[in-house]
Chains A and B, each alone.
Chain A
């Protein structure tokens, strides 16, 4: 069947009108996220994995750890690399091919959250300085796009990292030899992303697909476990006033705490 991805104009109007009155098409308030389901460890071959359902948006993240060369300017550190795939089965608007600007932006936002919050102690992943380090591959696989891929991907990445077990190893003659047993990957921070859309000059959190089609702009804030901002990204062809940006920050700090509790078991 051919589905058009163009939003019907009357629906767009209706969404904008409701939001002006503080209501949304589902029963959420302006600051509420959709129902979230998290499952971990579903991909045995991966060192870690997690699937997040945020409403109908579905993202699967797999973590692979391999050995490789460090970057020349950080010879004593392991490497973190995040990649995102907007696979064609996730939406009629996704096409097969090399990563486009949307998947690159998504990957880099998720990457910033993990990297800037120093969630992974990259120094502990060094095997032989300058020659051999562990590379942590975070691969974000979007399975169904129903809006707000960023928050879902960031949450799934965090859950997957928490689920990640590194194989035990010893270094013999400069080579990594795998020993039996596993150790959980130590995570020092738990970054969580909160995304807002601006519609009719109002801010709403966690826009779903039809809201995204109507929004002028979006703002993503990633918070670490101490409530510090570790990444920011404005997207979309519109803008935010400084007031709105500060308002969003206030809401995001609280929201992030709530979302974090779903993933990080005390």
Chain B
């Protein structure tokens, strides 16, 4: 089979395949509290990513021996639906999903007041319904909102965003195609008030200088995501307020 000439991922004007500039986030849509049974939930669309996050807890720990005497145990399951990717993925948890479950849990732990609820568990579930690069970041963004929606006391929201290097340039929020064709992908999660990086991973190749640029760009991306998170939480409660105003004007 002959090789098709690779389409450039970034053109001469700095425009990417999906029309974005190098430092632009994909379109982001978030809804909070969309699942009926979960104690807290959130749904996120980031570009073509479609991800659901839900929280159950604080609740009794099962199995009991996993309970901690002085704080709640945060458990996280990141999972991709078989139809979420180009080639059907087996429903059994892969090594990648297990690793991501761990790092996502560790990205959210610093934000929750776990010490308030000893001998309980807070169970987080992230389901990727459709994937297009940056799923762990979008998952963290949604999971943080699900925790807030569950009424679990938090120090701050955790926002996540990836930066990377594509065709020699440092870019924000890589799609799957950019991740596969680029030189580096670096997911990062951030807690604003503490200026804290709670998730940091990278695969690819970056010089020290490029690394600094990428971190700074990712943090800027997180700040934008953070705003969206706040707005999504407020929207949920404003809706009730508006409904009452309308009722009043009708009479």
Contact = CB atoms under 8 A, between A and B. Distances in A.
Q: Do A and B bind each other?
A: yes
Interface of A: 72, 99, 101-102, 104-105, 107-108, 112, 115-117, 217, 219, 224, 227-242, 245-246, 249-250, 253
A240 B203 contact: no
A179 B205 CA distance: 37
Interface string B178-204: 000000001000010011111111111
B102 A242 contact: no
Given A230-B205, A231-B202, A234-B199, A239 B98 contact: no
9 contacts: A104-B98, A229-B211, A230-B205, A233-B103, A234-B103, A235-B102, A237-B109, A239-B191, A241-B196
A240 B106 contact: no
A204 B79 CA distance: 34
Contacts of A99: 95
B224 interface: no
Contact of A242 (B99, B109, B208, B216): B216
B204 A230 contact: yes
A118 to B, nearest CB: 8
A121 to B, nearest CB: 15
Given A116-B203, A232-B186, A234-B198, 6 more contacts: A101-B99, A104-B98, A108-B95, A229-B208, A234-B106, A245-B200
Contacts of B208: 227, 229, 249-250, 253
Interface of B: 87, 95-96, 98-99, 101-103, 106, 109-110, 186, 191, 194-208, 211-212, 215-216, 219
A232 B197 contact: no
Given A242-B219, A246-B215, A233 B200 contact: yes
A223 to B, nearest CB: 9
Most chain-A CB neighbours within 10 Å: which of B87, B98, B207?
Answer: B98
B99 A105 contact: yes
A101 B101 contact: yes
B205 A224 contact: yes
A229 B202 contact: yes
B24 to A, nearest CB: 21
B98 to A, nearest CB: 5
Nearest to A234: B200
B230 to A, nearest CB: 20
B11 to A, nearest CB: 25
A116 B211 contact: no
B84 to A, nearest CB: 17
A251 to B, nearest CB: 11
Given A239-B196, A239-B198, A242-B195, A249 B110 contact: no
A250 B106 CA distance: 24
A237 B110 contact: yes
Nearest to A246: B212
A245 B101 contact: no
Nearest to B187: A232
Nearest to A115: B203
Nearest to B196: A239
Nearest to A113: B203
A118 B215 CA distance: 23
Contact of A231 (B98, B197, B198, B203): B203
A219 to B, nearest CB: 7
Nearest to A116: B203
B83 to A, nearest CB: 18
B204 A116 contact: yes
A250 B96 CA distance: 29
